[in-house]
Amino acid sequence: MERMRRGIPVLVGVVVVAIALWLLLGRASSESQAMRELTAFDGGAEAEASGDAKLKALRARAAAKPADAGDDLGPPSAPGVVATFGWGNGPGKLGRNRPEEANPEGPMSVTRDRAGNTWVLDQVNGRLVKLDQSGKAAGELPLTVQTPQDVAFTKDGTAAVLDRLVDSAVALMGPDGKQVGELKVLGKGIEEGGAITGVFTDGDDVYVEREHGDLVKLGDSKGKSDEARPEVPGRPSRDGLSYLSAGMADPTSGRVAVTSIDRASKAHRFTREVPFGAPIARLMLLDTDLSGVIYLGAEVVRPVAGSEEGQPLLAILCLDPLDGRPIGRAVLPANVDADETFRELTVLDEGGVMYLYRTEQKAEVMRVDCR
């Protein structure tokens, strides 16, 4: 009897250990199954092979949620202010124009180069303003076109500056500020400059976008035109795997359809409706970071009790590159002035977004992450 009593604690301990192992193995099996289900389509192998631990963690977290989790707009985010500008001319300022009989103008575009510098296209003052990785002023380049509206940087550091309205060209500027070439925008695929909705680069190739849809290749960073002007079905992802496009599926309910096309085969990967959680006024961002995470931004209107207009906000969704599933979001104050601008947001290679926010007193370059 005494021997049996001494054996009971040992038996209980064995049972406890067995239960713990069963629960641990069951949880691991469940997580593994969720990961397999999420990656069981074209492109999964490439993304898993990238070894991006952050993306894998975000994907696992999203896999544990319902497919439509995140319909609510959510609380405001807390961005970091990278740089602050006053309005005017000279160091530490950006131009702003308030004509009586024309559209008011402010800084037109913000982007990043491959070295990690941020650039603001200060159209009113005819220059590109450079900020280093810490946000400090690092110089400026004078612009050579008459009505610059957008800028993108090629892999070799050339700035591609778009003038779609007057010069109808993309000016190519080297790091020293000298123009090294020019690519005309009108021709095959582009009949009217006003149809252009942005300039984009892929390596050292230069493209313009036609009405938020296909991209038309103009040439390369050396100024060599591509006479064939081939088209691609969307914006190239920075991981080199996809072409992306987006359009409003139901702006009233706040849903956007995002489509991914496999770059190598041109096969359709996915089209997914994603929820913003509030009515959408306009789309403002579609890009990726180097890991392939998709960043989708829109100006939304949060309903406010007793107000017909509501509260305008900027909402940014991070989407899984495999199937477009939301894996994070950020909510910021929207620009509500009437200034004509072209690109207020740019995605960073390492992840996160730069946002050019404007008030009557100043302009701020903010950094926020929706992952």
pLDDT, one tens digit per residue, over 20-48 is 434 433 433 333 333 333 333 333 444 44
Q: What integer pLDDT is reported at residue 101 of this predicted model?
A: 74
Distances (CA, A) of 294 to 87, 242, 290, 301: 33, 11, 10, 22
What integer best gives the mean pLDDT of the chain?
85
**pLDDT tens-digit readout, 104-138:** 889 999 999 999 999 999 999 999 999 999 999 99
Q: Give the pLDDT band of residue 60 (cuts 50, 70, 90).
A: confident
Q: What integer pLDDT is reported at residue 63 of this predicted model?
A: 66
Task: Mean pLDDT check: name the lowest of 97-106, 128-137, 235-244, 273-282.
Answer: 97-106
Strand 169-173 relative to strand 159-163, pairing: antiparallel
**pLDDT tens-digit readout, 182-207:** 999 999 999 999 999 999 999 999 99
Q: What integer pLDDT is reported at residue 254 of this predicted model?
A: 95
Rounded Cα distance, 103 and 340, in Å:
7
**Is pLDDT above 50 for 18?**
no
98's enclosing H/E stretch is none
Instruction: Kindly state the tokens that stand for 269.
Output: 């990967």
Q: What integer pLDDT is reported at residue 328 of this predicted model?
A: 92
Task: Mean pLDDT check: name the lowest of 60-64, 71-75, 123-127.
Answer: 60-64
Q: Look-up: residue for tokens 């990967």?
A: 269
Q: What integer pLDDT is reported at residue 13 of this predicted model?
A: 44
Rounded Cα distance, 133 and 209, in Å:
28
Length of the chain: 371
Return the closest-CA partner of residue 62 out of 38, 87, 26, 79.
38
**pLDDT tens-digit readout, 140-176:** 999 999 999 999 999 999 999 999 999 999 999 998 8
**pLDDT tens-digit readout, 81-109:** 999 999 999 899 999 988 877 788 899 99
Q: What integer pLDDT is reported at residue 56 of this predicted model?
A: 75
- Phi then psi dihedrals of residue 294, to 5 deg: -90, 135
